[in-house]
């Protein structure tokens, strides 16, 4: 659990610059990194943690991790919903954790453009070959920025994440399934197509 949480910590705290208590944040995608980012940012004092996620099971898990609001980007207009939730403010930090930049970024950009929050940061943590459709004018006028994030090491991230967990940041809801050692190959294959699970743990073979 420490490793994916450290990836999220590196993305939203180190690379993204963190937030001030009372800021609004948006998490796009609720894989392990997105889920961990929800917990980290809520603990950091985010007023509204908004999760954009179409899969109902993962959306509900996002609530358990600390998300205050859920947006289904397939059934709802992402930008309009985020602006409505935040009273037109928008968000200080966006985490792109879907790997679908051509689908996700235009909505993020609209929120930045129409919202009243300046100096927003978009952190790209998901890997993707597709190019983001970025409008430079939006970044210039709204004083926003896009940063990339990869990995989890350095900056004392692992010790800080461990201390945060030890002092009450509960990441256990991310563990959605427990399997035996001989079930590992089938579950690795299933993870490619089944988005219901977030993190799978392996039972102690000696237990």
Which strand ranges, in their side-by-side order, compose the sheet holding 69-71? Answer: 69-71, 48-52, 24-28, 93-96, 121-124, 145-148
In the chain the domains, ranked by start, together with CATH numbers, are 2-148 (3.40.50.720)
Model's pTM, two decimal places? 0.89
**CB-CB contact of 92 with 142 (8 Å):** no
Average of per-residue pLDDT across 9-30: 97
Say which residue the tokens 């089944």 belong to.
194
Q: State the DSSP H helix or E strand holding residue 118, giving kind and residue range, or none if neither.
A: none
pLDDT digits (tens, 9 = 90+) for 136-160: 999 999 999 999 999 987 889 999 9
Q: State the DSSP H helix or E strand holding residue 97, giving kind and residue range, or none if neither.
A: none
**CB-CB contact of 32 with 62 (8 Å):** no
């Amino acid at each position: 659990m420490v490793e994916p949480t450290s990836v999220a910590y590196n993305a939203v705290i180190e690379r993204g610059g963190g937030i001030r208590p009372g800021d609004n944040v948006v998490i796009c995608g609720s894989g392990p990194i997105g889920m961990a980012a929800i917990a980290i940012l809520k603990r950091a004092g985010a007023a509204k943690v908004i999760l954009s996620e179409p899969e109902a099971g993962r959306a509900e898990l996002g609530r358990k991790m600390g998300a205050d609001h859920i947006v289904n980007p397939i059934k709802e207009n992402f930008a309009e919903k985020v602006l409505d939730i935040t009273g037109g403010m928008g968000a200080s930090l966006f985490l792109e954790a879907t790997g679908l930049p051509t689908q996700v970024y235009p909505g993020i950009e609209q929120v930045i453009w129409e919202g009243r929050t300046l100096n927003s940061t978009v952190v790209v943590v998901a890997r993707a070959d597709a190019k983001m459709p970025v409008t430079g004018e939006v970044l210039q006028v709204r004083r926003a920025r896009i940063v990339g994030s990869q990995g989890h090491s350095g900056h004392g991230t692992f010790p800080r994440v461990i201390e945060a967990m030890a002092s009450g940041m509960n990441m256990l809801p991310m563990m959605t399934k427990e399997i035996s050692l001989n079930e590992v190959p089938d579950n690795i294959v299933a993870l490619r197509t089944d988005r219901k699970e977030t993190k799978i743990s392996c039972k102690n073979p000696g237990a």
